[in-house]
Structure 1
Amino acid sequence: MVYVFIGIVVAIALVVAYGVYNRRQIYQSVDNLDQRKGLIMSEPVAEEISRVKGLTISGETEEKFERWRGTWDEIVDQRLPEVEMYLFDIEEIANKYQFRRAKDKLVDADHYLTAIEDDISTIRQEVDQLVNSEEKNREEIEAATEKYKDVRSLLSRQWRSLGEAASLLEEKVKKCREELEAYDEETKSGNYMRAREHLLFLQETLEEAHGQIENVPKLLAEIDRDIPEQVREMRSNVREMEENAFSFRHFTVHEDLDEVDGMLSYLKQNVSALELKDVEDKLEQIKETLTQNASLLEREAEAKNEVETGVASLKERHENLLNALAELEEERSGVEINYQLPDGDKSKMESILKEVSDVEKEGQAFEDLQANQKHSYTDLRGKLENLNIRMTEIEDSINESLERLQDIRGDETRAMEQLKELRVWMTETQFKLQKSQLPAVPEALVDQLGHAGKELEKATAMLETVPLDMKAIQEALEQSHQGIEKASHTLSEAVDQANWAERLLQFGNRYRNQFAELPPILNDAENQFRNGYYEITINETTRALERLVPYAFSNLQTEWGKRTQRQMALDSVK
């Protein structure tokens, strides 16, 4: 029973707390809306409206003034008091705990106040627009009036140079006068916004008319005088060039000039009708066309001179090419008797002969094109340049072949010199072997010297065989060089190993009687030494001495290393 009572008390407390919280929120919202209402009341809307009293209160201005004042009076006298009563009702509803209904009415009140604020904002904007229009009109009408006088004066001065467009421009200036008068009438009637529209249209029309009065004489001068003069001059140049054996059937010069004449007539009609939008662009295109054709005539004249000069040079160059080819064939025949030519030399020669034949045919075709005027001189110049490039390539090929043949003769001399040097090197190596007094010569050294000797004999025999195969000779000489080089290295290595092995045996004999296990090792090592197996001798004695007398052996290695370095220094000086 006690728990039930406590539950009821808690429930009542929660309900009361919920009601207090919602009423507080609604009261806060009402206060916010009431503050917005107060701000609206304090807005200086009446003062804003009174700004137009300095204007002429009639017509459009009077109509707007009355509408603004009526709207503001309605807001102050009716709509804001309604808001106040509405807010009072919301508080009463909240006190009755009808919170949902109270919140719905808060939303309605907010929308109502927003509508009032929007109406006030509209009044202010329209007032600003009207007042600003009047101010701008006063500031700009004087400049527009002066502009009108300038345009009318400019029209009078330029009348004779305006051609048929003068009457249309005169009508446009009259229209400007009418707009000026309409502006005055609207301003006097208090219709400042409509006056503003007339003023803006007047400014735009004056600017357009001024630009047209300035541009039309320039355009007519180009259409009636400048460009026709260029066309006549170009036609005269074309006729003169045609009389001097030029042909323009490969170009569109005549068609372009006829098109320019037709375009000028069309453009003059547009200028007379003041349709100037595309005239300047079309005139620029015409000028570009004339410039391109003038450049074409100039290039064609230059090309004719180059072609006529180049034809004679081409014949002379072709004769020189044939002479160079004959020289190559003669040199090749002489070399072929004593030397085997490299692989591909025959196909290279055939290729050169074919290229010479092809370029001769192209030269004849070129002369035919020139004689019969089948191409423009500009095209002929391009073909002439290509022919010269082809001839340069053939000349380079011939020169390269001549140099290659001359190199073959030089290869023989160089091979003889190399053979002599290898023989000297071989003799020195053999002498060094004899002088070394090795107990036995290693088999590898014997094989290397034998191989090198055979390659030297092979190269010698090849150099005495005609025709010489220089590629095989060079390969044999290279094999000889490698064999002697290996033998020389092997000999040096064998001498060094023999000396070190002998020194180790001498060192080991000092301790022969101190260690019972040492004599057999030394005896076997000496046997290997006498048979030429110096590396085995070094390995066996080194392992024994490192184990038995490590300290003494280490000193020996150090001493021998220093001695070897001194010997290497002496050899490098020699």
Structure 2
Amino acid sequence: MYNYIIPIVIVLLIFVVVLFVYRKKHHTEISRLDQKRLDLQNKPVLEELSKVKKLNMSGQAEEMFERWRNKWTDMMDDDLVQIEQQLIQAEETVDKFQFKKATQIEEEVEQRIDACDGELENILTELNDLIESEKKSRVEIENLKLDYRTSRKTLLAHQYSFGEAGNLLESRLAVFPEKFEAYERLTAEGNYLEAKEIVKELDHEGKEILRLITEIPTLLTDVQHKIPNDLSDLRNGYRSMEQQSFFLLHLELPEKLDAIEAQLPILKEQLVQLETEVAIEQVEQMKKDIDAYYEALENEVHAKQFVDSNFTKLGTRLEDLLLAVDEMQYEAEVVQKSYHLTTQELAMPRQCRSALNTYKQRYDLLCVEVKEEQSAYSILKEELEDLDKLVEIKKKEIEEFSKKLVDLRVHENEGREQLESFEQRLRLLERRIQKANMPGIPDEIIARFKEADQQLDVVKQELLEVPINVGVIAANLKKSNELITEAEGVIEEMLSNVQLIELLIQYGNRYRTSKPGMDEKLTEAELAFTNLRYTKALEVVATAVEAAEPGALKRIEGLAKQTVTRV
């Protein structure tokens, strides 16, 4: 029995501890909620309401004040009292260990406190907006009065700049004093919200009038003076250029100027009616069009200067190139007798002549147009520039082809010099082999010599042919160089190997009797050497010497390279 009592007691103790822990937790939560209730109750709503009350409100402002006060009173008398009662109920529930019910009450209290707090924040915000609105409106109305006086002074001082539009601006400004009086009256009565609406209305209208006062004088100056003067200057310039034989019909300038001129009275009427938004766009477009017309006339003047300066020069260049083509044709015929020319190269002079004849026809037509003065100089300039570019391209082609014909002789001489140089290289290789004092020359080396020599014979034969094909000679010389270079590499390697074999055999003789098998290896290497199998001989003797004395091969290779270099 004793064994059962102890566990039961322990379980009961644990249960009691848990109950008291939960009760403490709920008491802490209730204290927190009660503090939130007190914070809510202490919000400075009454102080703010008293500030607003001093404003002597009426109308909408007074209605809002009453709504805020009633909301605050209801919240203090009803909501906060009920919240306090719920918190007391929650404490009693916790003391009875009814934790689930306590949690429900706590959650409901939290929600009600948050809802009340949100409503109070809205009240405080609206209160502050009303107070700040009255202050802000007072500052704005003073600024509006200043803008009004400035606008009035501007209209009076510069009335001539506004023309008939000044009367309408005056009538719109005449409303401002009445609005100012209405603002002061509503403010004195405490109707701040309606006063604020007047400020908004005046602010919009004031900005609009200031904009009009700024824009209209400039627009009227453009419409009544600047644009008409520009149109007059353009007409005079147009007539003057026609008298100087400029062809200007393609510009259609008189018709375009008439169209602009017809729009000016309409624009002026729009400005008188203070309709500036459309007028601004149209005036700016007129200015751009007028600038474009000035530029078009200037382009014609510059184009005439270009044509006058370059027209004769192009004709002279064409005549010179036609003579150059004839000389190139004759030169090509002469060169063809000595050198091979491709079909494309032979056709080059004829193609150039055909192209130049076409350019000459275009130039002759251009001459007629310039003489008749029935074409715009800008169009003549474009045609002249296009022809000039084509002639320049053809000139370069002619110069390059003429140089190519001259270079054929240069390439022939260069080929002969290269041929002589390659023959000297072959003779030098022969002398090096002879000085090497070898038992013989392998068939592979003889074959390489023969192939290179035959290739040089091919070049010699091609240099004797008429006409000479410089391109084929260059290709064969390139092949000759490759063959000789390969032969030089193989022979260099062979001479090095022969020298190394002789040095290794001499070095290996010291071990011929002392090292087993050395005599047989050296004998084998000597036999291969005598039979011109130099690669085989080197492989055998190098392996034997290195086996007898490790590191000897490397030292002897260095000595062999120095010997071959001296040879």
> One fold, TM greater than 0.5?
yes
Q: Which residue number corresponds to residue 213 of structure 1?
A: 213
Is the partner of 1:277 in helix, strand or coil?
A: helix
Q: How many residues align?
A: 567
AA aligned to 1:246 is F
Q: Among residues 549, 559, 564, which one is paired with 1:562 in the alignment?
A: 559
Query: Residue 408 of structure 1 aligns to which amino acid in structure 2?
Result: L
Partner of 2:250: 250
Tell me the SS of whatever aligns to 1:246.
coil
Structural mapping, 1:388-399, within 5 Å = 388-399=388-399
Contact 2:546/2:553 (8 A) holds in 1? no
Partner of 2:152: 152
Deviation of residue 40 (structure 1)? Answer: 4.6
Moved more, 229-238 or 150-159: 150-159
Amino acid at match of 1:565: Q
Hey, what's the Cα distance between the residues in 2 that align with 1:523 and 1:75? 127
Going from structure 1 to structure 2, the CA distance change for 1:374 and 1:48 (only over 3 Å counts) comes to same
- Kindly state the Cα deviation for residue 471 of structure 1 after the two structures are TM-superposed: 3.0
Q: Hey, what does 1:321 align to over in structure 2?
A: 321
Could you tell me whether the CA contact under 8 Å between 1:164 and 1:272 is conserved in 2? yes
- Secondary structure of 1:401's counterpart equals helix
Aligned partner letter, 1:239: R
Confirm or deny: 8 A CA contact 2:542 2:553 kept in the other structure.
no
- In the alignment, is the contact (CA less than 8 A) between 2:512 and 2:518 conserved in 1? yes
Distance of aligned partners of 1:375 and 1:106 in 2 relative to their CA distance in 1, 3 Å threshold: farther
Superposed, 1:357-396 pairs within 5 Å as 357-367=357-367, 370=370, 376-396=376-396
Task: Identify the range of structure 1 (321-330 vs 368-377) with the bigger mean alpha-carbon deviation.
Answer: 368-377
Task: Check conservation: 1:332, 1:405, Cα contact below 8 A.
Answer: yes
Contact 2:504–2:556, Cα closer than 8 Å, also in 1: no
- Whether contact under 8 Å (1:60, 1:190) holds in the other structure is no
Distance 1:521 1:264, change over 3 A: same
How has the CA–CA distance of structure 1 residues 382 and 539 changed in structure 2, closer, same or farther, with 3 Å as cutoff?
same
Against the structure 1 CA distance between its residues 103 and 519, is the aligned structure 2 distance closer, same or farther, given a 3 Å change threshold?
Answer: closer
1: CA distance, partners of 2:392 / 2:546: 76
- Asked if 2 retains the 8 angstrom alpha-carbon contact of 1:179 and 1:198, the reply is yes
For residue 440 of structure 1, report the CA deviation from its aligned partner.
Answer: 2.8
Partner of 1:231: 231
Contact 1:440 1:532 in 2 (8 A): yes
Does the CA-based 8 Å contact 2:83-2:109 persist in structure 1?
yes
Match of 1:134 in 2: 134
**TM-score normalised by the chain length of structure 1:** 0.81
Alpha-carbon contact 2:220-2:271 (below 8 Å) kept? yes
Compared with structure 1, are the counterparts of its residues 465 and 31 closer, same or farther at alpha carbon in structure 2 (3 Å cutoff)? closer
1:355 is matched with 355
Over 3 Å counting, the alpha-carbon distance change for 1:18 and 1:331 in structure 2 is: same
> How big is each residue's C-alpha offset from its partner over 1:193-230, in whole Å with a ceiling of 9 and x where there is no partner?
22222233234333332332343222211110011111
Deviation (angstroms), 1:483: 4.8
Matched, 1:185 2:182: no
Question: Which residue matches 1:169?
Answer: 169
Of 205-214 and 329-338, more deviation after overlay is shown by 205-214
SS in 2 for 1:468: coil
Q: Per-residue deviation at 1:329?
A: 0.9
2:219 is paired with a residue whose SS is helix
Query: Residue by residue, what CA displacement relative to the aligned partner does 1:455-506 show, whole Å, maximum 9, x if unpaired?
Result: 3443333323322222333444445545555555555555555555555666
Q: Deviation string for 1:350-385 (max 9, x for gaps)?
A: 543443344334434544555566764323323322
Compared CA separation, residues 563 and 39, structure 1 to 2 (3 A) = closer
* Shift in Å, 1:337: 0.8
Deviation at 1:91, TM superposition (A): 6.6
Q: How does 1:67-146 map to 2 (within 5 A)?
A: 68-76=68-76, 80-81=80-81, 84=84, 117=117, 120-146=120-146
2:449 equivalent in structure 1: 449
Say whether the 8 Å CA contact 1:501–1:537 is kept in structure 2. yes
Is residue 299–residue 378 contact of structure 1 (8 Å, CA) maintained in 2? yes
Q: Is 1:295 the equivalent of 2:295? A: yes
CA contact (8 A) 2:525 2:540 kept: yes
Q: Counterpart of 2:421?
A: 421
Q: Do the aligned residues in 1 keep the contact of 2:59 with 2:190 (CA within 8 Å)?
A: yes
1:41 to 1:343, Cα distance in 2 relative to 1, 3 A: same
Task: Name whichever of 299-308 and 169-178 sits farther off.
Answer: 299-308
For the Cα contact (< 8 Å) 2:419–2:456, is it kept in 1?
yes
**What pairs up with 1:476-495 in 2 under 5 angstroms?**
476-485=476-485, 494-495=494-495
Indicate the percent of aligned positions where both proteins have the same amino acid: 28
How far 1:164 moved relative to its partner?
1.9
In the alignment, which residue of structure 2 is the partner of 1:47? 47
Q: TM-score, normalised by structure 2?
A: 0.82
**Which is worse superposed, 369-378 or 204-213?**
369-378
For residues 108 and 524 of structure 1, what CA distance do their matches in structure 2 show?
114
